[in-house]
């Protein structure tokens, strides 16, 4: 074996370190998200107390009875946190689904449309993207009324422009490839081009973006609930828990720390998973590792 072959075949410590680093990142992300998912699933059939039970003393500290203490109304904080986990996951998944369906459809339409239609859609998308997701969601919720369903649809609609622009860019790139040109010359229909060539090639990149959008949706829902525009009581959204604990943060900090840590765990975990998915779906990054 030549010296060049030997250097190629034997991973250097730096390469091994990068692989381990990405593996650790993905593992940590899965663990963080797994804890939140476990809390949400368990809350479907068991919680330490009923969500509306106010039998506990006001602002009690952590104890064997109330693991995270109680809030200003005497409700068990751990129970509230479990319900909030369920709301966060439902909101994130629902908003991503809405944004993906609308965004992918608009992006594909723009990529396949005539030049002037493509330019018009692209300009409209740029205008929408210029507004923060939270601001657009606030406008929609304010117009339709505060509820969990409205928040999910509003956040999904606000995120769909980002998904649409990315879909359009990726689709344009795929349509320029020689194998797609050959398929079109052979008479393959546009639906066939989309199903056989476009979607399979753009999905790895789209999936990473959608994972990141999940984290944005969780933060947006928490912000809406903090402002009173999210899931109304008795839904225990993490954002609403933060808002309710604001007045007692100095005397009972656990009420603000617990939901804040939960939000950070879920968002950071999803971002770590997205980074791991990007590495798995990009062969060039794996080779350069």
The average confidence (pLDDT) of the chain is 86
43-47, 141-145, 146-150, 185-189, range with greatest mean pLDDT: 43-47
pLDDT at residue 8 is higher than 50: no
Is 47 inside a domain boundary?
A: no
Token pair for 203: 């999905």
pLDDT at residue 189 is higher than 90: no
How confident is the model over 49-64, as a mean pLDDT?
Answer: 86
Is 10 inside a domain boundary?
A: no
The burial class, CB within 10 Å (0-12 / 13-18 / 19+), for 2 is: exposed
82-127 pLDDT, tens digit each: 999 999 999 999 999 999 999 999 999 999 998 999 999 999 999 9
Is 136 inside a domain boundary?
A: yes
Per-residue pLDDT band for 282 (boundaries 50, 70, 90) equals low
Determine what percent of the chain is predicted with pLDDT higher than 90.
56
Q: What's the pLDDT at 22? A: 61
211-226 pLDDT, tens digit each: 999 999 999 999 999 9
Q: How far is CA 125 from CA 26, 120, 139, 160, 287, in A?
A: 32, 9, 17, 9, 35
Q: What one-character-per-residue DSSP string does 66-128 give?
A: STT-B-TTS-BHHHHHHHHHHHHHHHHHHHHHHHHHHHHHHHHHHHHS-HHHHHHHHHHHHHH
Looking at the 3D structure of the chain, how many domains does it have? 1
Range of the domain at 129: 64-288
Is 228 inside a domain boundary?
A: yes
Q: What's the pLDDT at 215? A: 93
Here the CATH number for the domain that contains residue 227 is 1.10.3720.10
pLDDT: is 150 or 6 the higher one? 150
pLDDT at residue 1 is higher than 50: no
Peptide bond into 286 cis (omega under 30): no
The rounded distance, in Å, linking the Cα atoms of 167 and 207 is 11
């Amino acid at each position: 074996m030549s010296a060049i072959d030997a250097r190629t075949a034997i991973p250097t410590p730096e390469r091994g370190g990068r692989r381990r680093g990405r593996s650790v990142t993905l593992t940590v992300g899965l663990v963080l998200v797994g804890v939140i998912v476990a809390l949400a699933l368990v809350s479907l059939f068991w919680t330490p107390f009923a969500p509306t039970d106010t039998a506990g003393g006001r602002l009690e500290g952590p104890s064997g009875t109330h693991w995270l203490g109680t809030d200003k109304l005497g409700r068990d904080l751990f129970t509230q946190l479990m319900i909030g986990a369920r709301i966060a996951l439902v909101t994130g998944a629902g908003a991503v689904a809405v944004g993906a369906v609308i965004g992918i459809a608009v992006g594909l339409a723009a990529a396949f449309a005539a030049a002037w239609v493509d330019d018009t859609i692209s300009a409209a998308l740029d205008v929408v993207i210029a507004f923060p997701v939270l601001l657009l969601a606030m406008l929609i919720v304010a117009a339709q009324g505060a509820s969990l369903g409205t928040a999910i649809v509003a956040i999904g609609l606000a995120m769909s422009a980002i998904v649409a622009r990315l879909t359009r860019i990726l689709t344009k790139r795929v349509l320029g490839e020689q194998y797609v040109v050959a398929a079109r010359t052979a008479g393959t229909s546009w639906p066939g081009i989309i199903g056989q060539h476009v979607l399979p090639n753009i999905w790895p990149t789209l999936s990473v973006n959608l994972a990141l959008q999940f984290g944005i949706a969780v933060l947006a829902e928490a912000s809406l609930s903090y402002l009173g525009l999210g899931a109304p009581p008795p839904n225990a959204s993490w954002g609403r828990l933060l808002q309710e604990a604001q007045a007692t943060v100095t005397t009972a900090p656990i009420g603000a720390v617990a939901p804040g840590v939960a939000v950070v765990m879920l968002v950071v975990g999803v971002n770590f998973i997205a980074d791991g998915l990007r590495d798995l779906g990009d062969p060039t990054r794996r080779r350069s590792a």
